Structure 1
């Protein structure tokens, strides 16, 4: 898919009017709707993941949701750049350590990649010329949350975040 095709696809996934910025090495679509901000890569799908399914190469676009736009698109772009430049496979459960630390003003220093939750379990995808592009959500983590994840695992982290009513959309928590 070219940039325009991805932009149209991503625009149909999220509410609000879209704006597109070049942030670092990646184009990022930005949405604002009812106090919620969303940023999504538009050209990360050109980065090979090494994953395959249903005779398709699997690629991803990354997105994050926040209660403020401050640092959001930069976090998404930094996470994409670190994934491109490391051997971390962009798939649910992987951590991109230090991605948030590259963005001034954020207290969430890390990016945890998770199955997207805005669509209730259905993961939007697009198939084109032997490539399946999926959406993958970034859940920003603080140092303490990353330590908890590494100690107790993902299921326990998710339980603790809910139990302690942690606002995972607050990038300055």
Structure 2
């Protein structure tokens, strides 16, 4: 997909009207999704190959797996956009860090780190597009504090997710992100 096709696809799957803007050299989709929450998504990150491949049982071929990154938070769109850009640039520069659920991303700003997860915005399977040689889907970026990131590194992402649920930590509330 090219940028225009990606914009059309995202516009059809995000449950809010999207506005497309160029921010620091990145084309982003932005939306107010209600309840004080904003969404920011990349629209051209699927052009970056982070090395993922999958076998498609329908046609028996291996395909590149690409993604667009989405973040949702109770924070300003500019603040969310900056973190999404940091994550996209970190993944693009490294080209060896897979852009897939469970991937931890260090230093997305002072006291901010990230983890990619399967998106819960849609309450089921992540939106995806199958092309002849590529799958494109959405991964969600969740921003972590220094202590949450350290816990995920030591105990694992699954343990972090359990701890978040057990302790009712609101990952959408970025006011919890203070420099430890």
What TM-score do the two structures reach when normalised by structure 1?
A: 0.90
Give matches, 1:87-102, under 5 Å. 87-101=96-110
What corresponds to 2:159 in structure 1?
156
Query: C-alpha separation between the residues in 1 aligned to 2:171 and 2:83?
Result: 14
Give matches, 1:4-83, under 5 Å. 4-35=4-35, 36-53=37-54, 54=56, 55-70=62-77, 71-83=79-91
Superposition deviation, residue 125 in structure 1: 0.6
Structure 1 gaps, min length 5: 102-106
- Of the two, which has the highest radius of gyration? 2
Structure 2 gaps, min length 5: 57-61
Give matches, 1:119-138, under 5 Å. 119-138=122-141
Number of residue-to-residue matches in the alignment = 167
Query: C-alpha separation between the residues in 2 aligned to 1:100 and 1:63?
Result: 17
Please tell me whether the aligned partners of residues 71 and 142 of structure 2 are also in contact (alpha carbons under 8 angstroms).
Answer: yes
Superposition deviation, residue 80 in structure 1: 0.3
Q: Which moved more, 1:141-150 or 1:24-33?
A: 24-33
